[in-house]
Amino acid sequence: MNLIVDIGNTRTKYAVYDDGDWVVCGMGVPEAYELASAYLHRGQEVNMILSSTGAISEEVREHLKSVSTFFCEMSPEMDLPIRLGYDTPKTLGVDRIAGCVGGVVLFPGKELLIIDSGTAITYDFVSADGEFRGGNISPGLGIRFRALNEFTVSLPLVKCDVNHGYIGKNTHDAILNGVMNGTLFEIRGYIDEIYRDNPDAVVIITGGGSEYLKKTLNRSVFFEDKLVNLGLNRVLEYQKRLIGSEKLRIDFRI
């Protein structure tokens, strides 16, 4: 089985794939460790990929390695199933790369716009021949609400609410409408721009904020909440094949 462990900004998620099919998911490093241990005790292989948007302690890394038969760590410097046309690949978030790989798995041969609405909103573009062309990063909903409160003297902290209007009649509603509609208009603008340039392009939306967009976006897009996991699973399979091919070459030379 393939085990994906994704350490994000606020939580750690894991997912299990078997022969390319999603099996189960959950949260927490201890839970992922226990699951991997159970598979090993049943005599099954545990192929693991570890991904993080921040630093990973050596203790956590070694802890997870100890319950895997094949282990790799997601990095923009590793061999990938897509090409990175980015000036500073070392600074490119691995979650963004994984989302783009997942998009190529779902829609090979298509120009893609991947929108991940989370703590930040990322807009990533992939060419039809599988090259990451670059992208943009924008504040997510939570950051926008907090910024208005923290960087002003009198504006209150307002919480995200899908039940908002268009024109505010009070300060609370003015902030709510401004942030929610501003985010929506921004995303619509990116979508309209790519369709203007290429009507056959595909837009995929993922991330925690996608539930709000499902109700309000009113654009032809695909929603896939497992997109990053799908991409990480593809990278894991790619690494397994690379290592297997290298081993065959070494064995042949011997």
Positions at the binding site for ATP:
6-13, 119
End-to-end CA distance of the chain: 30
Q: Is residue 95 annotated as a catalytic residue, yes or no? A: yes
What gap in Å lies between CA 229 and CA 39, rounded to an integer?
A: 19
What gap in Å lies between CA 229 and CA 223, rounded to an integer?
A: 14
Tokens at residue 166, please? 């268009």
C-beta atoms surrounding 30 within 10 Å: 9
Residue with tokens 């992922």: 32
Instruction: Select from 214, 221, 212, 217 the least CA-distant residue to 194.
Output: 221
In the set 95, 173, 197, 225, the catalytic residue is 95
Instruction: Select from 120, 75, 128, 136 the least CA-distant residue to 103.
Output: 128
Residue 18, burial from CB neighbour count under 10 angstroms (0-12, 13-18, 19+): exposed
Tokens at residue 1, please? 């089985």
Binding-site sequence positions for K(+) = 116
Q: Buried b / exposed e across 192-220, counting CB within 10 Å, b at 16+?
A: eebbeeeeebbbbbbbbbbebbeeebeee
Catalytic residue ranges = 95
